[in-house]
Structure 1
Amino acid sequence: MSALAFTIVALLLSGPVPAMLARATWPLRAPRAAIVLWQSIALAAVLAAFSAGIAIASRLFVPGEDGRPTATLTSEIAVLGWPLWSAYVLVFALTLMIGARLIASVLNVAVATRRRRAHHRMVVDLVGSSQAKSTELCSHYARPLAGTGLRILDVAQPLAYCLPGVRSRVVVSEGVLNTLSDREITAILTHERAHLRARHDLVLEMFTAVHAAFPRLVRSGSALDAVRLLVEALADDAAVRTTGPTPLARALVACASGRTPRGALAAGGPTTVLRVRRLGGKPNSLFLAAGAYAAAAAVLVVPTVALAVPWLTELHRLFLA
């Protein structure tokens, strides 16, 4: 039953549960706690998938009459029957595949993302304004936020994004400086700096890797899309604390249609309308945040205690026999 339970939990946490949570509106009032909840769900789904495989392996190598594990996989066919044995082997193979895909996905996402960012960083360093000129062009209010990684592109359309990493960059266009007011420029730079300071890119990389690791039939794109929105909401909150909601809302609308490279975290984008509405809606809720943190802990602790302890005990007895 442990193998079946873990399989069901893994399927629920990789499909229906993310879909239901993605439809909820409360996460935008507790973005940080909601991200923790999403991370707990993703981690629990991966652990449940691996636990199902381990539980099945322990069933396929149950102790024989001498108290030792059986020597071959096929020797359990007579005990389990062909249908159940085939199902066990199929789920075990699926678990191994997910593990291999997860390792490959983590490596592919990390390497590809950093390669794209390094290339684009080289481009903006070549074509963007130097630090001295950037400081001169920046508004009086935004100048302290510029830092050493600010680059200004000679583009009329307002756009703003950041390139995370060891040598991070905040990139804005001449259109931002010519169109936005001082406080709006400050808001947009604070937004991008918040992404870099909190390393939101690493959060997105983890969800991208997990999304790619699970098979298409059971995975959901809801988690990745929801976390993308939540990290933007967190950066918005940092900007609001500096300038207030109105300058940020105007800056977001101005930069909404700006095109940004893959791997960058942009101020605008398809979620702009929803985020602007959020700025004028209800404030963040400590009650919702506390509930989300409690749910995140429960997602990890309850299945572990209820499901893992029994088969871990059995596995311990099996290998000590």
Structure 2
Amino acid sequence: MDATTALVFGVLALLLAGPVPALLSRARWPHRAPRAALVLWQAIALAAVLSAFSSGLAIASQLLVPGPDGRPTTAPVAEIDALGLPLWLLYVVVFALTLLVGAKLIFSIVQVGVRTRRRRARHRMLVDLLDRCDSSSPLARTPDLRVLDVTEPIAYCLPGLRQRVVLSQGTFTNLDDAEITAILTHERSHLRARHDLVLEAFTAVNAAFPTVVRSKSALGSVQLLVEMLADDSAVRATGPTALARALVACSGSIAPKGAMAAGGPSTLLRVQRLSSSEAGTPVALAAYAASVAILVVPTIAVAVPWLTELSRLFRAV
């Protein structure tokens, strides 16, 4: 690997962390193909991380200059003599930043995971204690459902190993059976697909990259897409009309941290989407192809030179 490789991957990492997510978040085609769009978002995030590390690895290979015996060395004096002080300082700073991003990513993953699970555990204990499931509806008689004594329609889920779907008495009072089925299907779709893990990963990646280069809209876009995926599951079970009425009724439902609510600020956009009949197959295929390209091309570009470099180093040893 050479300095050009490091520069290319550095620029690619910056583009995938900032401008590309900003452009994608303003697009409207993901609403027609949310699953493909979510795959594309994940490919972009993973490629951004891989590109950042690839840039650092390329820089590290430049620091392994040949010593007097022809073998690679990491002695600073030899490196400065071979590269010059300004270039050596630049390489060291870039490599240090790469290590910092990696360390921050690991820290963010652990921090987000621990905090989220603690919040869910506390809230799960509360809803288990406050459960007032005295509804006569057969839909209320499921092991994972908890019903709160609240008059406003509320619907959200608590993901994890001990999953919970939380509704209110107001939900059963204001919604008919088809609408309740739509809401339950929506929430259980989140639980079954483990959308919470996708959101955790994006939260961690968002925290790992510096504020000046990351996109603020990536996490919000992914949150909207997972809600649309859950909406699609509910539509297949009950049709769009029942789900639309249920979403409007629960639009004021706000989930506690760590949970996922059926309502929220995206309700109007999601209800409008339910009335659309635009086909999303062509754009979905294009998104899947772009996802593969974003991941495969940089990976090959990294793997081939890096394996060549390792082979050269082993031969020198």
TM-score (norm 1): 0.93
Quote how far apart the aligned CAs of 1:282 are. 2.9
C-alpha contact (below 8 Å) 1:106/1:206 kept by paired residues: yes
Residue 281 in structure 1 maps to residue 276 in structure 2: yes
Q: Which residue of 2 aligns with 1:80?
A: 83
| CA 222–320 in structure 1, closer or farther in 2 if over 3 Å, else same | farther
Q: Which residue of 2 aligns with 1:153?
A: 148
C-alpha contact (below 8 Å) 2:183/2:246 kept by paired residues: yes
C-alpha contact (below 8 Å) 2:17/2:213 kept by paired residues: yes
From 105, 126, 134, the counterpart of 1:123: 126
Identity %: 65
Runs of 4+ in 1 over 6 A off after TM superposition: none
C-alpha contact (below 8 Å) 1:187/1:248 kept by paired residues: yes
Task: State how far apart, in whole Å, the 2-side matches of 1:252 and 1:284 are.
Answer: 23
Task: State how far apart, in whole Å, the 2-side matches of 1:225 and 1:316 are.
Answer: 44
| CA 4–75 in structure 1, closer or farther in 2 if over 3 Å, else same | same
**Letter aligned with residue 244 of structure 1:** G
C-alpha contact (below 8 Å) 2:63/2:74 kept by paired residues: no
Task: State how far apart, in whole Å, the 1-side matches of 2:77 and 2:23 are.
Answer: 41
- Where does 1:56-205 land on structure 2 (aligned, <5 Å)? 56-130=59-133, 133=134, 136-138=135-137, 140=138, 142=139, 147-205=142-200
Structure 1 residues 36-45 or 65-74, which shifts more?
65-74
C-alpha contact (below 8 Å) 1:5/1:307 kept by paired residues: no
C-alpha contact (below 8 Å) 1:31/1:234 kept by paired residues: yes
Quote how far apart the aligned CAs of 1:78 are. 3.0
Q: Which residue of 1 aligns with 2:34?
A: 31
Task: State how far apart, in whole Å, the 2-side matches of 1:80 and 1:281 are.
Answer: 60
Quote how far apart the aligned CAs of 1:2 are. 1.0
Task: State how far apart, in whole Å, the 1-side matches of 2:262 and 2:47 are.
Answer: 31
Mark the runs of 5 or more structure 1 residues left unpaired by the alignment: none
Q: Which residue of 1 aligns with 2:242?
A: 247
Task: State how far apart, in whole Å, the 2-side matches of 1:253 and 1:319 are.
Answer: 64
Quote how far apart the aligned CAs of 1:254 are. 1.1
Task: State how far apart, in whole Å, the 1-side matches of 2:15 and 2:313 are.
Answer: 29
TM-score (norm 2): 0.95
Task: State how far apart, in whole Å, the 2-side matches of 1:245 and 1:224 are.
Answer: 26
Kindly provide the CA deviation profile for residues 26-71 of structure 1, in whole angstroms up to 9, marking residues without a partner as x.
Answer: 1111111111111111111111111111111110112235220124
C-alpha contact (below 8 Å) 1:58/1:315 kept by paired residues: no
Q: Which residue of 1 aligns with 2:312?
A: 317
Mark the runs of 5 or more structure 2 residues left unpaired by the alignment: none
Quote how far apart the aligned CAs of 1:260 are. 1.9
| CA 295–27 in structure 1, closer or farther in 2 if over 3 Å, else same | same
Structure 1 residues 82-91 or 187-196, which shifts more?
82-91
Task: State how far apart, in whole Å, the 2-side matches of 1:177 and 1:307 are.
Answer: 56
Quote how far apart the aligned CAs of 1:306 are. 3.1
| CA 8–308 in structure 1, closer or farther in 2 if over 3 Å, else same | farther
From 197, 201, 207, the counterpart of 1:206: 201
Quote how far apart the aligned CAs of 1:197 are. 0.7
Task: State how far apart, in whole Å, the 1-side matches of 2:213 and 2:176 are.
Answer: 47
| CA 207–74 in structure 1, closer or farther in 2 if over 3 Å, else same | farther
